[in-house]
Structure 1
Amino acid sequence: MKREGLTLGILGGGQLAQMLALDAIPLGVQVTVLEPAPDAGAALCARHIQAPYDDPAGLEVLAGCDAVTLEFENVPVAALEYLEGRVPVRPGAGLLAHSKHRAHEKAGLRAAGAGTAEFAVIEAESDLSGALERVGGQGILKTSELGYDGKGQRRVSSDAELRAAWEELGGVACVLEGLVPFAREVSLGVARTAAGDLAFGPLVENVHRSGILRTSLYLGGDQRAAQQARDIARRVAEAWELEGLMTLEFFELPGGELLVNEVAPRVHNSGHLTQDGGGLSQFGAQVRAVLGLPLSDWAPLLPTAMVNWVGVEDEAAQPDWDAVDALPGTHIHLYHKAWRPGRKLGHVNLTAPDSETLRARLTELERLIP
């Protein structure tokens, strides 16, 4: 296949599109992003079409690319309909129909043979009765669409709390998920080409703070859990006819069983550590899968971690970047985004020659980033 002159369109122009473009450039791929924001981070390394996602003129440019991918799942239906049949969109509308709607996602996961938490679909007031009991008496009510990083969610433990939470969320379609007594949260990416070639990312352990990913850790020694995650990811990727890359987030139960919590049809925050641990990154994997280039498993070659930098209430509480830079093994990635509380503004990857050294450095890195 030709390399120079390959073109990739991306719906979205934030930090994920930026990092996709940075991995595409060395492969000879020219990237165009469609993004309404004037300060799109991806504009630093890709052609930026500043227009709404469903703008016909902007979509016409993307339709002239070799393939189109995305950095977020809530793509307007009109955009997909415009591109359908004109250019390969990977992942496509069928997979997005699963992943962007929590009720469809849960049903699709179970149909593919993947375990999930108990859940109940809440689409009308009449669905509230008995729902909490069916999921075990305690749960998390989540909007079926548009929720991320802890948004659009309420924890409930009584029928009265459930009703109040549903009303607070606007009485929109929701999914009530039973609480899972997990031992830890992990994630794994899977990529698949249009020809059916599969590749997998590393099993990464994740810790969240206020509903937003705080740290991710890869040590590489948990082969039993990794194989279980790969088996589940394979079943879902094949059942959903994945073309491109998606990331599965899991709850690991105390006995070792993995339940799928959520699916993202794209590169994922927890996979950012693959940028600097050596070998292929998740961004290179998505570019390769979407364009049909040779694909292989991707995982750091060294123990690797990531710490997110998220905007806090006090804008003056900036990390000591010089100290972060001076810590051995650090790689700073800033997103060129305006500060806002709760907004992801950057991340720092960290590598070390062994697990013990990595954990010690990670403790120090977390101290330096509020």
Structure 2
Amino acid sequence: MTRDLTLGILGGGQLAQMIALAALPLGVRCVVLEPDPLAPARLCAEHLRAPYTDPAGLERLTGCDAVTLEFENVPVGATSVLEGQVPLRPSPAVLHRSKHRGREKVALEAAGARVAPYRLIESEADLEGALASLGGQGILKTAELGYDGKGQARIGNEAELHAAWDELGGVPCVLEGLVPFVREVSLGVARGPDGSLSFGPLVENIHRGGILRRSVYPAGSSAHTAAQARTLAGAVADAWGVVGLITLEFFELAGVDGQGGELIVNEVAPRVHNSGHLTQDGGGVSQFEAAVRAALGLPMQDFLPLLPCGMVNILGWEKGNEPDWAALESLPGTHLHLYHKASKPGRKLGHVNVVGQTPEEVLAGMEMVQRVLGIK
């Protein structure tokens, strides 16, 4: 029997590109709806160059076996057209929760997860006393949109809170109290139409300026903490009725009495995630293949790397500072992934995965990659 399935994707960026590349060996072709004529996924998928709400484009997607997405801020007009016409995975209900930080926190708490202390800021009157109730320091984030550090500001006093509220446009926000975490970690979970679950690795992440710079597996967390992450991810996926793949980002608190630290959920991405890119080259199923399997109801399996591995993001460079690609590709254990995007400072243009026999070998390889890329 020859498998002949088609997966639609809302969005045609690098995540859609990597989903499409993982789908092809499974006998699955992808169709992306994306207005950008230079969308990275156009190189390996059928590209519908049109707005996300384009009637003809949406009609084409209804002919797919299922539709998934590569970003959460899909226009409601698009999902409302697709709902009921084709399996949309994750569902509009999951998107509704995850695209608004306030709704997401309420839904996480209902699923049994702990979140950072917070206050909803929907009007100027809500600013009064909010910061003091959270200990006098926090981070103000727009309730919707915002990505890679955009749409947020660190707050240390009342004057900064009012100034940040004005600078963010006076839109609905969430003010979060600061959490004294020891590390940031993330974990993906895929859930099939029959409720079966598969889990990715617990990955340790380093951010700078709100942008993920590097990820490594295994994380420095204990086995107890890794098990806790799987339990929480599974509980959220089940409680939200997820079909598809979601990624949970956690703050890990300091442990006590030899036990691993408790996890606080920072946010949920209803899609494949930058921190999961290292699963491409660790020897097991990748997060992208797991997302395809879940969306189409194919047999599930955990997407854990078989070897220690890490990932370093490649960001856009200033003119004249293009990386030495030959030097980068000659490093042992490295796998270069470029997105075919024009360079702009700070823009994610690709990543390098590093695989080794030991965690120490991976960390040393990542340091070499960073030196070649000029990252301190």
- Tell me the TM-score normalized by structure 2: 0.96
Q: Secondary structure at the match of 1:149?
A: coil
Deviations 1:110-139 (A, max 9, x none): 111100100000000000001101222100
Quote the Cα distance in structure 2 between the aligned partners of 1:357 and 1:342.
Answer: 28
Quote the Cα distance in structure 1 between the aligned partners of 2:34 and 2:140.
Answer: 31
TM-superposed CA distance for 1:315, in Å, is: 2.6
Deviations 1:134-166 (A, max 9, x none): 222100000001111000000001111101100
- Equivalent position of 1:320 in the other structure: 324
Kept after mapping to 2: 8 A contact 1:3/1:29: no
Quote the Cα distance in structure 2 between the aligned partners of 1:354 and 1:205.
Answer: 16
TM-superposed CA distance for 1:46, in Å, is: 0.4
- Equivalent position of 1:230 in the other structure: 230
Moved more, 2-11 or 54-63: 2-11
Kept after mapping to 1: 8 A contact 2:6/2:65: yes
Q: 283, 288, 296: which one pairs with 1:283?
A: 288
TM-superposed CA distance for 1:40, in Å, is: 0.8
Q: Secondary structure at the match of 1:298?
A: coil
- AA in 2 matched with 1:84: E
TM-superposed CA distance for 1:3, in Å, is: 5.4
Written as runs of structure 1 = structure 2, the 5 A alignment for 1:145-156 is 145-156=144-155
- Equivalent position of 2:20 in the other structure: 21
Kept after mapping to 1: 8 A contact 2:311/2:354: yes
- Equivalent position of 2:258 in the other structure: none
Deviations 1:74-93 (A, max 9, x none): 01000011111100000011
Quote the Cα distance in structure 2 between the aligned partners of 1:3 and 1:272.
Answer: 29
Written as runs of structure 1 = structure 2, the 5 A alignment for 1:158-197 is 158-197=157-196
- Equivalent position of 1:342 in the other structure: 346
Written as runs of structure 1 = structure 2, the 5 A alignment for 1:46-57 is 46-57=45-56
Written as runs of structure 1 = structure 2, the 5 A alignment for 1:57-136 is 57-136=56-135
Kept after mapping to 2: 8 A contact 1:310/1:341: yes
- Equivalent position of 1:207 in the other structure: 206
Q: Secondary structure at the match of 1:155?
A: strand
Structure 1: gaps spanning 5 or more residues: none
Deviations 1:194-243 (A, max 9, x none): 11000100000000111100000002784221100001101111111000
Quote the Cα distance in structure 2 between the aligned partners of 1:355 and 1:121.
Answer: 41
Quote the Cα distance in structure 2 between the aligned partners of 1:3 and 1:332.
Answer: 32
Q: Secondary structure at the match of 2:363?
A: helix
- Equivalent position of 1:246 in the other structure: 246
Kept after mapping to 2: 8 A contact 1:66/1:88: yes
Quote the Cα distance in structure 1 between the aligned partners of 2:60 and 2:134.
Answer: 47
Kept after mapping to 1: 8 A contact 2:201/2:218: no
- Equivalent position of 2:313 in the other structure: 308
Deviations 1:286-337 (A, max 9, x none): 000000000011111111000001114x132122111111110000000001
Q: Secondary structure at the match of 1:19?
A: helix
Q: Secondary structure at the match of 2:345?
A: coil
Q: Secondary structure at the match of 2:149?
A: coil
Quote the Cα distance in structure 2 between the aligned partners of 1:197 and 1:220.
Answer: 25
- Equivalent position of 2:278 in the other structure: 273
Kept after mapping to 2: 8 A contact 1:18/1:45: yes
- Equivalent position of 1:294 in the other structure: 299
- AA in 2 matched with 1:336: H
Quote the Cα distance in structure 2 between the aligned partners of 1:64 and 1:282.
Answer: 25
TM-superposed CA distance for 1:366, in Å, is: 1.0
- AA in 1 matched with 2:233: A
Q: Secondary structure at the match of 2:204?
A: strand
What is the percent sequence identity of the aligned residues? 65
Kept after mapping to 1: 8 A contact 2:185/2:219: no
Quote the Cα distance in structure 2 between the aligned partners of 1:103 and 1:281.
Answer: 31
Q: Secondary structure at the match of 1:10?
A: strand
Quote the Cα distance in structure 1 between the aligned partners of 2:328 and 2:46.
Answer: 32
- AA in 1 matched with 2:253: L
Query: Would you say how many aligned residue pairs link Structure 1 and Structure 2?
Result: 368
Q: Secondary structure at the match of 1:300?
A: coil
TM-superposed CA distance for 1:7, in Å, is: 0.7
- AA in 1 matched with 2:245: L
Kept after mapping to 1: 8 A contact 2:280/2:286: yes
Please give the root-mean-square deviation of Cα atoms over the aligned residues, in Å: 1.0
Q: Secondary structure at the match of 2:166?
A: helix
Q: 351, 354, 360: which one pairs with 2:358?
A: 354
Kept after mapping to 1: 8 A contact 2:204/2:219: no
Confirm whether residue 363 of structure 1 aligns to residue 347 of structure 2: no
Deviations 1:246-288 (A, max 9, x none): 0000000112010000100000000000000101000000000
- AA in 1 matched with 2:242: L
- AA in 2 matched with 1:232: L
- Tell me the TM-score normalized by structure 1: 0.98
Quote the Cα distance in structure 2 between the aligned partners of 1:27 and 1:311.
Answer: 33
Q: Secondary structure at the match of 2:131?
A: helix
Quote the Cα distance in structure 2 between the aligned partners of 1:106 and 1:134.
Answer: 17
Structure 2: gaps spanning 5 or more residues: 256-260
Quote the Cα distance in structure 2 between the aligned partners of 1:356 and 1:199.
Answer: 28
Segments ≥4 residues shifted beyond 6 Å: none
| Pair 1:3–1:142, CA change in 2 (3 A) | farther
